[in-house]
Amino acid sequence: MQLCQSEWTVLQSLWERQPQTLMQLVEDLKLRAGWSASTSKTMAARMTEKGLLRYEGKPRRYYPNVTREEAGLEETEQLLSRAFGGKLGLLVSNFADHGKIGKDELEELYAILDKAAGRED
């Protein structure tokens, strides 16, 4: 599942508040992205056809069919594969070498790695 920026926008709206009626979604997307009602309705219909959204009842109440975590993991894996040949160490090294990792983030990374290695304190 590769999401375009417009799909991310719709999903972010629904992750923040669900369910939303179509009119609520239209209003939120107008504020969030400056979209017209027809653009928002078209996106909701297309994303429903793709299985990214679902709706229930009348009026239709829309829900995301994918979690933020699932979408984020998929996006991260695609970026890692595309930009770094699937090598996580190269990604982290790239950030570290360019000063993009702060002390707090380094400590968080150490904790994550310790937990993954089964060395939880």
- What are the average pLDDT values for consecutive 10-residue runs of the chain, which has 121 residues? 94 98 98 98 98 96 98 94 93 89 91 86 54
Instruction: Check residue 1 and give its pLDDT.
Output: 78
CA dihedral 105→106→109→111, nearest 10 degrees, is -100
Question: 57 in the Ramachandran plot: left (φ > 0), alpha (ψ -120 to 50) or beta?
Answer: left
CA 100 from chain center: how many Å? 21
pLDDT the model gives residue 121: 54
Tokens read off for 31: 């504020």
Report the distance separating Cα 35 and Cα 26, nearest Å.
Answer: 8
pLDDT at 19: 98
CATH class of 5-64: mainly alpha
pTM, two decimals, is 0.80
Q: Which two tokens stand for residue 10?
A: 């719709």
Say if residues 26 and 40 touch (Cβ distance below 8 Å).
Answer: yes
pLDDT of residue 104: 93
What CA–CA distance (Å, rounded) separates 9 from 3? Answer: 10
